[in-house]
Structure 1
Amino acid sequence: MLRRFDKLLKCNLCYISGIHSRSKACKPVLKNCKKMFKSAVFNLQEATPDQVKEFLNSFDTVLSDCDGVLWINNNAIPGSPEAMNYFRKLGKRIFYVTNNSTKIRSDFAVKAQELGFIAEPEEILSTAYLVAHYLKGIGFTKKVYLVGSNGIGDELKAVGIRHFGVGPDQVKPDFKSMSPSDMDPEVGAVVVGFDEHISYPKFMKAASYLANEDCLFVATNTDERFPKSSSIIIPGTGTLVRAVETCSERKALVLGKPNDYVRKFLESFGLDPARTLMIGDRCNTDIEFGVRCGFQTLLVMTGVTSAKDLEKIRNDKTPPLPDVVLPKLGDILNLTSS
């Protein structure tokens, strides 16, 4: 696996050297694909039985976001387990592609199984896993200052990369009293993921390590918020990434959707973009990722995107536009049985 990563990671070295404009060699080469509903924002519930059948036959691989598509918190969205298991029964290859960095792959697989999904750790592609293998793949040997959770920490540990920073960082009365002696000279990278213990001292440390231009700056994702299960808004990792970018005056290398690193990883499995379906609940990550990669895209309305958002998407026709839309993923089962 790591040998394949070494090959795939060459395109990312331009980021590490500070060159953000990719060369032609780094640009994806996608097969031409005549999609059934290309960027149509088409309500799949309005399709004829023959169109539904043709749609299901048009892809071999299913990539699905998790939070807001398959489950919210610890509750499966009704019909989602049955829909994903139905795709598998049809012979589709399944990958769970999540920007959530709070768990290791095996924990995600256990959660999925407990909620009724057929899932194996090898089918989980999480940003915590991507961070660990990205750093391992470029031969990183220093320490990581981690603004994040145990999910990233455990994945780093699994590949032999030292890290610290998980958990609360006490805010002292004189919160600006940090001195150079408080800094670890072995730190060679700052990684930012979701951190429920975010604090001013963490921002200070992250920015101070990043003052060294040789220190790598890696982020899991830039999602603005978590899918809502109530009227309470839960800020996402993007909130923390933007804050660290602001105080460090640096830009992070973001590995999660919709960025190219996920595509590079998936290409190692030999999937055909023209026959791949990406399912998501938000346009600026899931659908954008699918469009960039040349996948077919399915937007569901059980997470971030609201009915009002969908109306605006249809009226404004501002890319990225999903090919098809369903109120919830489980509705696909009603269409196949009609």
Structure 2
Amino acid sequence: MAGAFALGFKQCRKIGGSQIRSLLRAKDVFLFDCDGVLWNGEAAVTGAPKVLRTLLKHGKHVFFVTNNCTKLRENYAKKFSRLGFTGVRPEQIFSSSYCSALYLRDVARVQGQVFVIGGEGVRNELRQAGIPVVGDEDEAPDATIFHCGLASDVRAVLVGHDDKFTFLKLAKASCYLRNPECLFLATDADPWHPLPGERILPGSGCLSAALEVASGRKAMVIGKPSPFMFECISSQFSVDPAQCLMVGDRLETDMLFGSNCGLDTMLTLTGISHMKTAQEYKDCDHPANHSFVPDYVVDTIADFLPAFEED
């Protein structure tokens, strides 16, 4: 079956039944975003655990690509188990914090400390990779940039989600980035995340944007939609992009990631983005917006299940 990517255009078509069955037969590798696709908060999407079990039963390879940098991969595996997803191993999980650690260790080969704006998930992934970390955890509550100490050997600044973000962290990071040889990385550029009650949580992209303005520099983004996350998967598991399907709920992140990596893409409507927005991008006159358009759309990944049952 020729994939939509191979046809050279994004179809943005809702599929079901025999079309899903043909797609499942054609693809060997499935990449899933997590929140909004497999679960929402602490509730699994109905049918999602069975979908993953069935994919694995049929010999498919499954990976999880998330911009959430707040947990170690081992802790993500525990969440999978807690929500009823059995058999998920840490090595299947590629988070933006884990991939940031790989970039710093294996690509940049940073020699020195990394100043982190972010939580323990980011710091612990870096520590597990053998990367020394410096932060503000030991600063006095009333410390200011005028009198605090600055480490002399910081060679990179990494920005991730940080619910304890302070003006002092921003000021310190700005000082470190005055050195043009100091790397400037962001785990991801997500602007916000949905919360119950119509509230939102500002994302990592807000923090990196503030530092970009303060430093006059542009951060290199490690997570989706950057292709680096897929490069991490392909380097460890030798996957063929033509055999992959990227399944996500956010057009500007998940669909763009798939497009950037040469993957067929599927939007599920259990998360952030809507079919109407996808159609608007498809009909837009600006070619750049077409990269946000999915090849396929389903209401939920539970729509996979009838296709398996017909095999």
| TM-score where L is the length of structure 1 | 0.82
Query: Is residue 179 of structure 2 the alignment partner of residue 243 of structure 1?
Result: no
Structure 2 unmatched ranges of 5 or more:
none
Mapping of residues 237-316 of structure 1, within 5 Å: 237-268=204-235, 269-316=237-284
Instruction: Give the whole-Å Cα distance in 2 for the aligned partners of 1:129 and 1:105.
Output: 7
Residues 1:330 and 1:62: Cα distance change in structure 2 (over 3 Å): same
Query: Is residue 109 of structure 2 the alignment partner of residue 139 of structure 1?
Result: yes
Q: Could you list the runs of 4 or more consecutive aligned residues of structure 1 that deviate by over 3 angstroms after TM superposition?
A: 32-38, 166-172, 227-230, 313-318, 334-338
Matched residue SS, 1:330: helix
* Structure 1 counterpart of 2:47, one-letter code: G
Query: Is residue 39 of structure 2 the alignment partner of residue 71 of structure 1?
Result: yes
- Give, in angstroms, the shift of residue 170 of structure 1: 5.9
Q: What is the count of residue pairs matched by the alignment?
A: 301
Instruction: Give the whole-Å Cα distance in 2 for the aligned partners of 1:273 and 1:212.
Output: 38
- 1:130: which partner in 2? 99
The percent identity for this pair of structures is 35
Matched residue SS, 1:213: coil
Q: 2:123 aligns with which of 119, 131, 153?
A: 153
- Give, in angstroms, the shift of residue 199 of structure 1: 1.3
Query: Is residue 303 of structure 2 the alignment partner of residue 328 of structure 1?
Result: no
Tell me if the contact between 1:169 and 1:199 (Cα under 8 Å) persists in the aligned partners: no
| TM-score where L is the length of structure 2 | 0.89
Tell me if the contact between 1:290 and 1:297 (Cα under 8 Å) persists in the aligned partners: yes
**Cα root mean square deviation, aligned:** 2.3
Instruction: Give the whole-Å Cα distance in 1 for the aligned partners of 2:6 and 2:26.
Output: 8
Mapping of residues 1-338 of structure 1, within 5 Å: 39-45=10-16, 48-49=17-18, 51-117=19-85, 118-137=87-106, 138-165=108-135, 172=142, 177-179=144-146, 182-268=149-235, 269-316=237-284, 318-320=289-291, 321-337=293-309
Instruction: Give the whole-Å Cα distance in 1 for the aligned partners of 2:22 and 2:271.
Output: 27
Structure 1 unmatched ranges of 5 or more:
1-31
Instruction: Give the whole-Å Cα distance in 1 for the aligned partners of 2:27 and 2:268.
Output: 18
* Structure 1 counterpart of 2:36, one-letter code: G
Instruction: Give the whole-Å Cα distance in 1 for the aligned partners of 2:195 and 2:58.
Output: 31
Residues 1:98 and 1:234: Cα distance change in structure 2 (over 3 Å): same
* Structure 2 counterpart of 1:70, one-letter code: L
Matched residue SS, 1:226: strand
* Structure 2 counterpart of 1:143, one-letter code: Q
- Give, in angstroms, the shift of residue 44 of structure 1: 1.2
- 1:17: which partner in 2? none
